[in-house]
Structure 1
Amino acid sequence: MLDPIVSFFTRMFQLIGRGLGFVIGILLLPFIWAWRWFVQRGWVLKTLVGGAVVGLVALYGYFGWNTQVWTNFNPDYVATHNFENRNVSAGEQVVAGGGTDTAKTCGRSAIADISAELIDLNVNQNAWISSMVLYKTGLFGLSWDHTPFLDNKASFQRGINQAIRRTTTELADNLGRVRGTSQVDSDLQDARGNMQFDEYTWYFGLTPFGPKTPTPSYYRSAIKSLNNFNGRLEKCQAVFDARADNLIQFIDRISNDIGATSAILKDRAENYNNGWFDPRADDRFWFAYGQLYGYYGLLKATHADFEDVLKTRNLDNLWDTMEQQTRAALNIQPFIISNGAENGWFMPSHLITMGFYILRVRSNLVEISNVLSR
């Protein structure tokens, strides 16, 4: 009775095995051809080709390692600064210094400190993935961003970078000037310019053709400029205009920035909900995650820099709530990003979940802005 059934499944497995063998054979065919060509060459050519292959394998190993190892990734990174106990607004004079200008001490900008720390995380503690030559060449010419492989860290770094770009622009245009009418601070201007540099530049390029300064070098220069600004601010030789209207504008810009990201997540979730088989869901998710990762520290720093304003307007509790909600979003760290349908029961929708947290943070920012505007 069971023999026909057993025979049927035996034939099925044999056909599947033959099919897999055929596919593997097709995939291995170029390598078999290359090996036969290689063994027929002279030793000089063998040495050159062998060295090139070994170098390429080592380069891919280095690239793979850097994309998978996230050095010093820590959603609670800002806790080490202990901003809650600082009680000094940015630019506020701390010590009179016996009446001499050279002995004055003013509060540092926590925003500038966190910005420099985040840049350092991206380009010094980790390799900047987006400008690595193998990231630029892609997978057989296909951009890594259009595959489910090796692009998560690059998207996370670019998300952080988006938050830093927005912040350095606000520092140069408003926060580091007296009512936005005084001369632009040279260090903040340099930091803003360097952070606007293209994220994908390697040591050599084709448009225009020739050697180039790579992206990480510009970002490292921004670290130096931000630290220089804070050094001068600490000596009361620079300006940080910690006024309510500057705070309103800053959080409005952040609100608009994360709102745009929420719209990108919504579009992807509604139009490409292929569950685990959406190759772009992961980089959309990790870009949004990186953006919130950066803004979490920057919003904590903003609380410290505008300590007097928030205390005067009785906004400490509302701001604390917003910080907690931002931090809660960073707990979402799925092993595989899924972009399932909203009413799906098998594959979750991590993009919709992240979008929900972003909108919740944005709602709090809008509420704080409205209170400050009254």
Structure 2
Amino acid sequence: MLDSITAFFKRILAAIGRWLGLVFVGLSWPFLAARGWYRQGNWLLKLPVVALVTLLALLYIYFVWQTQIWTGFNPSYPDVYKFSERKFSAGQELPAADGQQAAATPNSCQTSGIVDVAADLTDFNVNQNAWISSMLLYKLGLFGISWDDTPFLDNKASFQRGVNLVVRRTSAELVDTIGRVRGTSGINGDLQKARGNLQFDESSWYFGMHPFGPKTPTPSYYRAAITNLRNFNTDLGNCKAIFDGRADNLLQFIDHVSSDLGNTANILADRSQKYSYGWFDMRADDRFWFAYGQLYANYGILTAAGADFQQVIAERNVGRLWNDTLGMLQAALRIQPMIISNGPEDSSFMPSHLATMGFHLLRVRSNLVEIRTVLGGR
């Protein structure tokens, strides 16, 4: 038994050694091939090459730094908003401050926590951090191979895309249902602009091939969406915008969130079942971190929704279920393995982190479906 275990680890180490050797050869051969040409060239040729190599080195240092440093990452970030201290649902008129006459003060209404979190998550993606998916070196890949097909430098990009999926969905819900009284009011202009900006292509750089020519990069559109969302909340705080906090709007919002979670769980299950290569599955890490980003964003959005729809939640008596769901999201966000493994579910050596994340996704989704049932049953 001991001999078989020793032989198993020897095979793993040998495979890793061969793989690292191939990677080293692949990375070094262009430089070795160019060495002879460079030594024979004159300085008119050497100086541009030196400048180009220096520029690429600086770009790669910046790129690696941005992919590895996650500024502002905090799985407990919803606590900063102190939503539990809010006494009014979003859009409700606030009473005048003590000692002030109601007639002498302008109307003020409760702003939306959902809008605040959506704007801050986008700020986290494109201002506190670089938006990885549209960076030139990310688009170029590793010698033409997409970074998503390698185990390197793609985790943050996948996480950001998971966050952005939730923000996009939220912006659509705000435009279509929550930010208007259906049938009696028009679409809010700021929310409409925010949705349009957030739907923009995630990988656009300053120049593109389809179509050919200069482009506005993705982060510029997302930064514009932040401004649009904050403008809406300013108008809402001045009672000049609408937040329709009805139970059917919350029900539809939850329905779409649970649908997105179910889709991601299916993607994880498919990858887990068909490509259970343990530590050697090159796509397991980006699948995992996309799902993690989705849960990260949903934790903040659903915490905010609990405050924005607090009257509905109290009337329908779903407070316990809601808090249970947030607790499940907290538990899921505590899973942060250093190396993502996609092994067989019964493996003793290479765990299945995708199956684990899929389990947590389905737990949250199950609770959301139960909340939806309660909301729709009355």
The normalised TM-score by structure 2 is 0.91
Instruction: Give the AA of the match of 1:349.
Output: S
Report the equivalent of 1:249: 252
Instruction: Give the AA of the match of 1:136.
Output: K
Aligned mate of 1:164, from 167, 184, 192 = 167
1:129-176, CA deviations, whole angstroms, 9 ceiling, x for partnerless residues?
000011101111111111111100000000000000000000000000
Report the equivalent of 1:135: 138
- Could you say what secondary structure the match of 1:103 adopts? coil
Distance between the aligned counterparts of 2:128 and 2:140, measured in 1?
24
Which stretch of the first structure deviates more once superposed, 197-206 or 178-187? 178-187
Report the equivalent of 2:80: 80
Distance change in 2, residues 1:283/1:28 (3 Å): closer
Instruction: Give the AA of the match of 2:63.
Output: F
Deviation for aligned residue 1:180: 5.3
Distance between the aligned counterparts of 2:21 and 2:116, measured in 1?
57
Say whether residues 1:147 and 2:150 are aligned partners: yes
Instruction: Give the AA of the match of 2:46.
Output: K
Matching of residues 1-374 of structure 1 within 5 Å:
28-95=28-95, 103-179=106-182, 181-374=184-377
Deviation for aligned residue 1:99: 5.7
1:44-71, CA deviations, whole angstroms, 9 ceiling, x for partnerless residues?
2111110000101111111111001111
Deviation for aligned residue 1:337: 0.3
Distance between the aligned counterparts of 1:199 and 1:101, measured in 2?
48
Deviation for aligned residue 1:345: 1.6
Counterpart contact for 1:174–1:180, Cα < 8 Å:
no
Deviation for aligned residue 1:78: 1.1
1:299-325, CA deviations, whole angstroms, 9 ceiling, x for partnerless residues?
000000001111111211111011000
Distance between the aligned counterparts of 1:153 and 1:34, measured in 2?
33
Counterpart contact for 1:177–1:239, Cα < 8 Å:
yes
Deviation for aligned residue 1:179: 2.9
Deviation for aligned residue 1:30: 3.5
Distance between the aligned counterparts of 2:150 and 2:238, measured in 1?
50
Where structure 2 has 5 or more consecutive residues not aligned to the other structure, the ranges are 1-16
Distance between the aligned counterparts of 2:365 and 2:43, measured in 1?
65
Deviation for aligned residue 1:95: 2.6
Where structure 1 has 5 or more consecutive residues not aligned to the other structure, the ranges are 1-16
Which stretch of the first structure deviates more once superposed, 235-244 or 314-323? 314-323
Counterpart contact for 1:173–1:180, Cα < 8 Å:
no
Distance change in 2, residues 1:21/1:274 (3 Å): closer
Instruction: Give the AA of the match of 1:320.
Output: N
Alignment RMSD (CA, Å): 1.9
Distance change in 2, residues 1:243/1:29 (3 Å): closer
Deviation for aligned residue 1:346: 1.2
- Could you say what secondary structure the match of 1:183 adopts? coil
Counterpart contact for 1:102–1:235, Cα < 8 Å:
no
Deviation for aligned residue 1:117: 0.3
Distance change in 2, residues 1:66/1:262 (3 Å): same
| Percent of paired sites with the same residue | 60
Deviation for aligned residue 1:33: 3.0
Distance change in 2, residues 1:198/1:21 (3 Å): closer
Deviation for aligned residue 1:36: 2.1
Distance between the aligned counterparts of 1:22 and 1:174, measured in 2?
54
Structure with greater Cα Rg? 1
Instruction: Give the AA of the match of 2:221.
Output: Y
Q: How many residues align?
A: 356
Distance change in 2, residues 1:22/1:92 (3 Å): closer
Deviation for aligned residue 1:29: 4.5
Distance change in 2, residues 1:25/1:104 (3 Å): closer
Which stretch of the first structure deviates more once superposed, 94-103 or 321-330? 94-103
Distance change in 2, residues 1:342/1:250 (3 Å): same
Deviation for aligned residue 1:39: 2.0
Instruction: Give the AA of the match of 1:75.
Output: P
Distance change in 2, residues 1:100/1:301 (3 Å): same
- Could you say what secondary structure the match of 1:95 adopts? coil
Distance between the aligned counterparts of 1:322 and 1:218, measured in 2?
32
Distance between the aligned counterparts of 2:262 and 2:23, measured in 1?
46
Instruction: Give the AA of the match of 1:89.
Output: S
Distance between the aligned counterparts of 2:59 and 2:103, measured in 1?
57
Kindly report structure 1 stretches of 4+ aligned residues shifted beyond 6 Å: 20-27
